[in-house]
Chains A and B, each alone.
Chain A
Amino acid sequence: MTRISSTDQVSPDVASVRPVAAAGLTASRAVVRARRVGERIVAAVLVLLGAATAAFLAQASLPGDRATTILNIRSGQAVERTPDELAPIIAQFGLDRPLVSQYLAYMGGLVRGDLGVSYQQFRPVWDIVGEQLWATLVLSLTAIALAWLIMVIWVTSTAGRGPRTRALGEFADTVTAGLPHYWLGIVLLLVFALNLGWFPVLGGTGPEALLLPALTLAIPLAGFMGQATRAEFERGLAQPFVVSARMRGMSDTGVRLRHVLRHAVLPAVTLSGWALGATISGAVVVESIFNRPGIGRVLVTAVSSQDIPVVTGIVVVIAAFYVVANLIVDLVYTAVDPRVRIA
């Protein structure tokens, strides 16, 4: 629930006051734009490299002798091992090589899509992650879509109304943004699945089993995005273009939907890249409440059994999603808001 400062966003006051560019400037503008895109891509690659390095360091920093730990995790025991028992493990994981060469091997593996081998299950981490990834992605994308729907309806109908309605809207944003997933999930489960019986209580992969988990992730996200959108929406309502649209005879609802909303959702667009990472990590909690398959549950199991390669593998995959989503959002943002392109 980290708050993202909006300082690096272009404020609407910095609208293009510059004179319309002459035709000769178009070429240099394209260069500027290409450079901006290039910088973003380099930054994304560096962040990914750092995330992978952190993942490697996490594996290397496991306390105690690593070969013994691996063997004990695999057999579920905690005993001293003889060198004979350890030798195959050391050979398999290359633990006798210097750390730098282990690091290079790990990074090389990542480039080929090899996330290492699970300490506990003996299988490649990518297989374990791959078979669960889809369920989690469906959950988080549904949650983001639902969050947008809830947020747009709620903000459009409450922002800039009378003081009571506004206070209610703001209050709901603040409260929902702070709700922990475990609490909301359990309350939804108790009310809609156990008491009302509208939804299945346990598991299932059908669409009816998707709604409650997705809502659990969507409601806090809607509150969070709502806070950013509401401020922008109310600023938008005070703009001259609203008065001129009303003078043309457009209805209030029409103005809100066609003109103001467009400006207001920009901060929420920026947040959507971040939201993908946030909902995937929220899925850790939600999947274990609703007994849904997915990488979140795999992650919890791996953390409690100290199966570090699985943990770091999932962390690297989620970091990759986060970075790529943010890159896309950045590029979309440039396309949607012409002011950023010029600046």
Chain B
Amino acid sequence: MSVITRQDAPAPVRERRRPAPGLIASLVLLGLVLVAVFAPSVLAPASPTANDFAAALQAPSAAHWFGTDEAGRDLFTRIVWGAAQSLLIGVGAAAVSLSLAVVLGTTAALAGRFVSGAIGLVIEILFAFPALLLALLLVAILGPSAWTQVLAVGIGTAPGYARIVRGQVLAAKDSGYVEAATSLGHPRPRIVFGHILPNSLRPLVAIFALSVGQSIVWASSLAFLGLGVAPPSSEWGALLDAGRPFITQAPWLVVIPGLVIVALALAATTLGKHVSIALEKGEKA
């Protein structure tokens, strides 16, 4: 869904200002992460598991940009190689979360009075559990693993998005074009799938970007508590968990992976905000 700007009309002055520096920084960072996912050896040619005990626990320097861990492994290399799994967990959790949110949210908004009341209640009940708590409950039942992380974070963050979807669908349902389609005698499935859903789910494109960032943060919180992927992996959460015992001697082992996660989440949020502003402008044009 690309937004086409009309060339004939002179754009207002405000539109012509240069793009926000935040957006550029976010795109650069997301680009780097994508390179790390698909071609890690371009950024970090060394192996992420190469031990070098002579260079153990070294602070960040020119030779080791992000320092080294207790086995002398280069932290920068490990972060680059861990990007794929971390992003996969984030995207997976966001997909689980938004699919659940769409199913619950649309049913709550469109079903008959009884069903929508019941589902609305389910959403409120799930919302009453803070996301991390719901995730911990699932980890307790299923045991810690990457799959559990995806499921737990996905289900934990779904209720908030389900509320947003419900609001969007309700707004679309009461709109003029749906009223028009109804009075034209269009069948209900056509109205739901042709008018209500496309219009109410469009903002989810922006929310998806935001949700991937948030999911990576939640997943890393679980990993920090020792409830994620087990440490030999260089997934970012696992790096945090592995670095914890060395907080006082080698703080960079936790601070730097954490900073990478924060930066990525911030970039995803910024991108999501800009996409949603662009979508709103597109609707008005």
Contacts and interface: CB of A to CB of B under 8 A. Distances in A.
A343 to B, nearest CB: 18
A77 interface: no
Interface string A292-315: 000000011011101110011001
A318 interface: yes
A182 B227 contact: no
Interface residues of A, number: 54
B224 A285 contact: yes
Contact of A180 (B22, B220, B227): B220
A186 B220 contact: no
Given A1-B131, A277-B128, A304 B226 contact: yes
**Residues of B in contact with A, size category:** 35 or more
Given A47-B121, A50-B125, A322-B128, A194 B225 contact: no
Nearest to B144: A304
Given A303-B140, A308-B141, A182 B132 contact: no
Best-surrounded residue of B129, B217, B247, B269 (most CB of chain A within 10 A): B129
B128 A186 contact: no
Contacts of A5: 163-164, 167
Given A46-B121, A54-B125, A190-B251, A183 B259 contact: yes
Interface string B130-164: 11110011011111100000000000010111011
Contacts of B157: 2
A323 interface: yes
B221 interface: yes
Interface stretch (A89-97, A171-179, A260-268): A171-179
Contacts of B136: 284, 299-300, 303, 311, 315
Contacts, number: 142
Given A180-B262, A183-B255, A323 B128 contact: yes
A315 B128 CA distance: 10
Contacts of A284: 132-133, 136, 225
Nearest to A310: B140
A43 interface: yes
A315 B125 contact: no
A323 B214 CA distance: 24
A288 B227 CA distance: 13
B67 interface: no
Contacts of B109: none
Contacts of B226: 300, 304
Nearest to B133: A281
A137 B60 CA distance: 39
A318 B129 CA distance: 8
A319 B128 contact: yes
A30 interface: no
Interface in B198-247: 213-214, 217-218, 220-221, 224-227, 240, 247
Interface of A: 1-5, 7, 43, 46-47, 50-51, 54-55, 58, 61-63, 171, 174-175, 178-183, 186-187, 189-190, 194, 277-278, 280-282, 284-285, 288, 299-300, 302-304, 306-308, 311-312, 315, 318-319, 322-323
Given A180-B220, A182-B221, A281-B132, 9 more contacts: A174-B269, A180-B221, A186-B251, A190-B255, A284-B133, A285-B221, A303-B139, A303-B140, A312-B137
22 contacts: A1-B214, A1-B217, A2-B161, A3-B164, A47-B124, A51-B128, A174-B266, A174-B269, A175-B266, A179-B262, A183-B258, A183-B261, A186-B258, A277-B133, A281-B131, A284-B133, A285-B225, A300-B226, A302-B140, A308-B140, A311-B137, A318-B133
6 closest pairs, A vs B, by CB? A2-B160, A50-B125, A183-B258, A281-B130, A182-B224, A303-B140
